[in-house]
Amino acid sequence: MLEFQLLATEGQARRGRLTLRHGSVETPVFMPVGTGGTVKGVMPRSLEEMGAQIILGNTFHLWLRPGLDVLRAFGGLHRFERWSRPILTDSGGFQVWSLGEMRRIGEEGVRFASPVNGDKLLLTPELSVQIQTVLDSDIVMQFDECTPYQTAGVATSQAQARASMELSLRWAVRSRAEFERLGNPNALFGIVQGGMFESLREESLGRLVALDLPGYAVGGVSVGEPKEDMRRIMAHTPQRLPAHKPRYLMGVGTPEDLVEGVACGVDMFDCVMPTRNARNGHLFTRFGDLKIRNARWKTDPEPIDPHCGCHSCASGFSRAYLHHLDRCGEMLGPMLASIHNLHYYVDLMRELRQALDQGRFADWRRQFHADRARGVG
């Protein structure tokens, strides 16, 4: 249940349309992250109004809470969280990786202590796919090991990255077998790993492409590596994936990362940055970033971004008001900031798609960087 049409290209940049069971998605696309069944502080209706086309859920967290019995009773995640458009679910690999010393990785899967109640649990490729089948997510991710950039301050060696990459490949085969055994009607994506080593990335993607999956993701970036290493892998790997299938760069990133990722051939992005930064008073605008906690905004009557059409800006909420809400710890502050940041990301991708439709992506990209470098007035 996945169709991908490539509508236009300019250099490596691509304009496409992804058709899934719960609707179509215009690409390139940014996907807001709704880890535990909600995009933090933002109503589904607000997401629809800003033009969000597809959101994320997380297998690991939803498995622990509310649990599969509840989700099964609702027929999946769409009805449970009142979202009718497509959903992609992370396999849980990144969350297990983030547990650090609380988990032990083996061939079978990952054993760990639940961060909710301390229960001893085992997450396997098969169980990850079973959970995602209950969630009825439009895009299911294979279970993988997220290769760390470094451990205890020591960079991951090529031998360690190879072992991790090969484990993820074996888990990909098991994920596909379980996906097919269950008769899941949605789409399964593979995840390219290999750390910061281009040769391992090429081997990983070659063996995944041989599985002929509906789509492919680039994982293991934005895990603590220097920006130049992330950009190096971003420039290397996506363009080597099949041109007729969607390409997803996981967990990235800043507005500049998204634009440069599109220039490297990426179709799909997700990141917690818009909402996480919003909760910490960091707002994105066309002309650079605005730190609302700065005292300079205490009496400023302007909206966050006078060029923005989001609810927060169009309704006239001032920088001074958001500064006040943040200083007082009022929950409305991060809610308004999250709406703005997500709208900025979604609208950025809309502008980018329009530039690709009109064959002027290169010019648009130059103006984007010039505007962002100008700074907030």
Question: Which residues carry out catalysis?
Answer: 90, 270
Q: What are 128's two structure tokens?
A: 């990850």
Q: Is-contact 18 2, C-beta < 8 A? A: yes
Q: Enumerate the β-bridge partners of residue 290.
A: 283
Q: What are 254's two structure tokens?
A: 């800043």
| Rounded CA separation 197/371 (Å) | 34
Q: Which residues of 303-313 are buried (b: 16+ CB within 10 A; e: fewer)?
A: bbbeebebebb
* Whole-number Cα distances in Å, 127 to 61, 63, 176: 14, 10, 12
Sign of CA dihedral 340, 280, 300, 329: positive
Rounded to the nearest 10 degrees, the angle between the axes of helix 227-236 and helix 255-263 is 30
- Of 73, 74, 67, 84, nearest to 23 by C-alpha is 84
Question: Which residues make Cβ contacts (< 8 Å) with residue 330, sequence separation at least 6?
Answer: none
